[in-house]
Amino acid sequence: MGSSVNLRWSRVANLVPVLFGITLVSFLLLRLVPGDPAQQILGNRYTPEAAAGIRRTLGLDRPLLEQYWMFLKGAMTGSFGESYQYHRPVGELLLDRTGASLMLVGLTAVFCAALSIPLGIWAAVRRGGLVDQATRVLFTLGFALPAFLVGIVLILVFGLTLGWAPIGGYGTGVASHLGHLVLPALTLAIPFSTVLVRSLRSSTITVLEADFVTIARLKGISESRILLRHVLRNAIGPVAVVFGINLAFLVGGTVVVENVFSIPGLGSLLVGAVSTRDYPVVQAVALVLAVFVVLVNLLTDVVHGLLDPRLAAGVQR
């Protein structure tokens, strides 16, 4: 138990250099992108003298190392400065946009579970059969399609042709928000579920061939009870790890999908800030997304340990 706790604290400590590296890379890449924030702010009023004054006011005339230190110091105190574009504190913008992104990720996770768990188990139990073959072909096709193309197909079929769901925007009120997020969440869930179905099918087949499952069958325990009480619990652990590893791709997908469906989340805020060279917003959103991903990966390790006690036993040995 002690070794397991130490291992998790070690992983928490490892997050510090990871976050530091992400902030440094995003800071340097942003400075390499062509474009001048002062020119974006001034627009038609641009003059070299006015631009120099804007850069001096924003601290952009200082050395890069000093600018980076100012950003780190502000981030450690929860202050990300003021947006060049919106003229509002960046913290307020993040709070306004985080809700939509979290609802999108949460609904995507629900759709992923609804698609991948029954199909993965069904394909494993009936492996080699027609359902297994059809599932593998369909989900291989879904995995090969990029998210934006899946989104366009869903908009054409379920939005414009059938009229079952809104094709853009966010609506007002929780029910309206969820209705507007159905197609974006499906756009993310379909390709993401292909990975989970394959993983769950493989781990379920491995567990079904284990000795304790054979013993349970010899004792006369029903197949449904074996699946629910013995197989699913042992098979879901590796799937949780796959989910955590691929979550970064899901977060990256939200950036594209939010812009395709005009959802006012962190992804659309990030794209707009990059195009206007809104440095404080870009750096803050990149840091928030990075913290979200690494925390979910840490949570994945904890959940995996709880679902699979053999992991903790292995650490103790």
Q: pLDDT tens-digit profile of 211-233?
A: 888 888 888 888 888 888 778 87
pTM summary value: 0.79
> How far is 101 from 264, CA to CA, in rounded Å?
8
Q: pLDDT tens-digit profile of 16-40?
A: 787 788 888 888 888 887 778 888 7
* Structure token digits, residue 4: 């397991």
- Which of 217, 148, 226, 241 lies closest to 188 in space, CA to CA? 148
Q: Which residue type is seen at 149? A: L
CB 84, CB 278: distance < 8 Å: yes
The pLDDT of residue 314 is above 60: no
> How far is 165 from 171, CA to CA, in rounded Å?
12
Q: List the single range of 21-25, 163-167, 243-247 with lowest mean pLDDT.
A: 243-247
- Which of 31, 56, 69 lies closest to 279 in space, CA to CA? 31
In angstroms, how far is CA 141 from the centroid of its own chain?
22
Average pLDDT for 80-106: 89
- Please report the pLDDT score of residue 311 as a whole number: 54
**For 171, left (φ over 0), alpha (ψ -120 to 50), or beta?**
left
- DSSP per residue over 282-301, as a string? HHHHHHHHHHHHHHHHHHHH
Structural domains in the chain plus CATH codes: 1-90 (no CATH), 91-313 (1.10.3720.10)
- DSSP per residue over 195-221, as a string? HHHHHHHHHHHHHHTSHHHHHHHHTT-
CB 127, CB 205: distance < 8 Å: yes
